[in-house]
Amino acid sequence: MPLGTLDRAPPPFFRQGPSALSKLAVCSALALFLMVADTRFKVMQPLRVVLAAVIYPVQWLALQPVNLLLGTSDYFSSLNAAQRSKEEAFKQLGLQSLRSNQVEQLTLENDRLRKLLDLRQRQQATGIAAQVLYDSADPFSRKVIIDKGLVNKVQEGSPVLDERGVLGQVTRVYPLVSEVTLITDRDHAIPVLNTRTGARGVAFGDTTTHADAMELRYMAANVDANVGDLLTTSGVDGVYPPGLPVARIEKVDRRVDAIFARIYCVPAALVSGASHVLVLASMAEQPPPRPVPEPPAPTRNKRGEVIKP
């Protein structure tokens, strides 16, 4: 075969196209153009919407095993938590039932002993439910504003409680609202009683350790006070009814060179998170119960005979 008849062009497999650098420049320019056009004119938004609609079923199918695994894990975790909560609730219910029976028995015994000793019965305080509106604007005091005032017969000096214990005392009363000074305020003091030892003291608001704290002051350095002791109202001030939870002892600092111990306490009430409170009538405003008049002694003559009126 003559050599002139052969095609001297290279076969298509070995043909050389544009160089790699040219392809990179073209692709970079196209990408830059698309980015600028999408940023300014949102030209790729319809395509993005179509792709999202097409890919969504695939994404949903791919996430189903993960969702199933997470749902199963959450189900068993919730089931275990519910069972633990149920057991704890039954336990607390049993304890509360036992305490309720004990309280009824102790109340009955207390009434009998008071009648036996001819002591005055304790007064039963009445209360008004109120809601905390907001904190006081003074950053250096611990006060809140409640939505009950003179219209609701709230009086100055009335104790304020929440579901856990003593919250504070009404210090100012307006027509529709009232100001309550919390027990953690530095100018507030409340007589307390250590339920374990029976020792009386005075608890003051104290913010040196942390925001919501109290200090049991003027207690001897060798006083019998331990961490965890419950302090309740003693009732000697005539303002707070006796037996209301006030605080628990958090720290006892005894110093050799000091006469008094530094006893730090944590309030029992939700001082920073209370939303609904109970305003009790002041004990000073409640009249004591009327004494039962005794029958007059019979009149007798010289012979000792009873003279009938």
| 200-251 pLDDT, tens digit each | 999 998 877 677 789 998 888 888 888 989 999 988 888 888 888 999 999 8
Q: How far apart are CA 16 and CA 277, in angstroms?
A: 88
Is the whole-model pTM more than 0.85? no
Domain coordinates in residue numbering, the chain: 25-116, 127-285
Q: How far apart are CA 105 and CA 112, in angstroms?
A: 11
| 39-53 pLDDT, tens digit each | 888 877 888 888 888
**Could you tell me the CA-to-CA distances from 17 to 22, 29, 221, 288 in Å, in that order?**
10, 19, 98, 111
Q: How far apart are CA 231 and CA 228, in angstroms?
A: 9
Residue 203 has a pLDDT of 92
| 255-293 pLDDT, tens digit each | 878 888 889 999 988 888 888 898 988 765 555 555 545
Beta bridge partners of 253: 262
Q: How far apart are CA 155 and CA 130, in angstroms?
A: 13
Residue 2 has a pLDDT of 55
Q: How far apart are CA 233 and CA 226, in angstroms?
A: 18
| 52-109 pLDDT, tens digit each | 888 888 888 888 888 888 888 888 888 888 888 888 888 888 777 777 777 777 777 7
| Per-residue pLDDT at 296 exceeds 70 | no
Q: How far apart are CA 264 and CA 194, in angstroms?
A: 13
Residue 88 backbone dihedrals phi, psi, to 5 degrees? -65, -35
Q: What would the two tokens of residue 10 be?
A: 């290279």
Residue predicted with more confidence, 304 or 207: 207
- 179 residue type, one letter: E
Q: Which fold has domain 127-285?
A: Thrombin, subunit H (2.40.10)
Q: How far apart are CA 157 and CA 147, in angstroms?
A: 16
Range 2-23 average pLDDT:
64
Closest CA to 213 of 142, 163, 280, 279: 142
End-to-end CA distance of the chain: 169
